[in-house]
Amino acid sequence: MTATTALPTEERVVRREALYFAVRNPKLVIGFSIVLVLALTGLFGPVILGVDAPNEYVAMPMLPPTSEYWFGTTTQGQDVFVQFVYGLRTTILAGAIGGGIAAVIAMVIGFVAGYRGGMVDEVLNMLTNIVLVIPTLAVLLIINAYLGIRSVGMQALLIGLTSWPWAARAIRAQTFSLRSRDFVDLARLSGVGTPRIIAREIAPNMSSYLFMTFILLFGSSVLIAASLDFIGLGPTEGVSLGLMLQNATQWSALQLGLWWWFVPPGAAITAVVGALYVANVGLDEVFNPKLRET
């Protein structure tokens, strides 16, 4: 149909320009590089290290960092570096899946509420407000506590199910402003159905915004997952950065001065989340020319 055909050249120019500024934006480049390096470490590190069980006792307990054990060992003689690499994998995975699920829910609710309006909007808005007010971590606490066996996937799913409201609200507002644009009207008049209009007309026109929303949800999911792990509601198997922090405090790493046990995992969480936030600022500058000038 007319409205859904070729991308206007203007839009293509805008995209090319965005790319031009993207590769020259230090915030974006540095932020994404840090995330990428840490994600690759988590992804391939375990393979390269060739260790299957990060919680095995491999050496003398409480060794400070050496050339063999880069991050030293725990009070039980576990290799902190091996745990760190595995933990990175778990934590980034939990954040990405959790953030992804939250983004999908936020998009569905935001698009439908913003596009349909009326009663549907009222009901969805109410739902959003309710989930927004309930403290996320508190809900996750009781759900996770009742779950006997906890997996990373389950944790991510639950985080996704509870952390979408602010994003849904923002997407709803954006959709609302796009709804009455000419090209959407045109598509509607030519008989295109609602899901198709949302997928073909509305979503592409706010793709940069959606991507930025996902980035922020990713970051917050990493933090929520780490908090859950720390309280003792992390995955029952394996290791994550939050679990490392929990073990470190539980086994008195503080009092014993085993700084190599609790510094790396926290630093890695901060690095991942901080890099995501900084990259997000960079993205904002790329997509928003007004911010670019100054």
Alpha carbon distance 222, 159 (integer Å): 10
Cα 204 to chain centroid, rounded: 21
Candidate list 102, 223, 239, 286; residue touching other proteins; CB under 8 A: 223
Residue 148 tokens, joined = 């006997």
Closest CA to 281 of 216, 189, 231: 216
Candidate list 226, 239, 243, 283; residue touching other proteins; CB under 8 A: 226
Candidate list 166, 176, 183, 209; residue touching other proteins; CB under 8 A: 166
Residues 171-200 that bind other proteins (CB under 8 A): none
* C-alpha dihedral, 269 to 271 to 276 to 279, nearest 10°: 180
Q: Which of helix, strand or coil describes residue 147?
A: coil
| H helices, E strands: number in the chain | 15, 0
What backbone torsions phi and psi does residue 220 show, to the nearest 5 degrees?
Answer: -70, -30
Site track 79-118 with other proteins (rule: CB under 8 A), x = hit: ----------------------------------------
Residue 208 tokens, joined = 């940069």
Cβ distance to other proteins smaller for residue 142 or 189: 142
Assess 33 for contact with other proteins (CB under 8 A): no
Residue 261 tokens, joined = 């046990």
* Segment near other proteins (CB under 8 A); pick from 62-70, 109-117, 200-208, 251-259: 251-259
Q: Which residues bind other proteins (CB under 8 A)?
A: 126, 129-130, 132-139, 141-143, 145-148, 166, 219-220, 223-224, 226-227, 230-233, 242, 245, 248-249, 254-255, 257, 259, 262-263, 265-267, 269-274, 276-278, 281, 290, 293-294
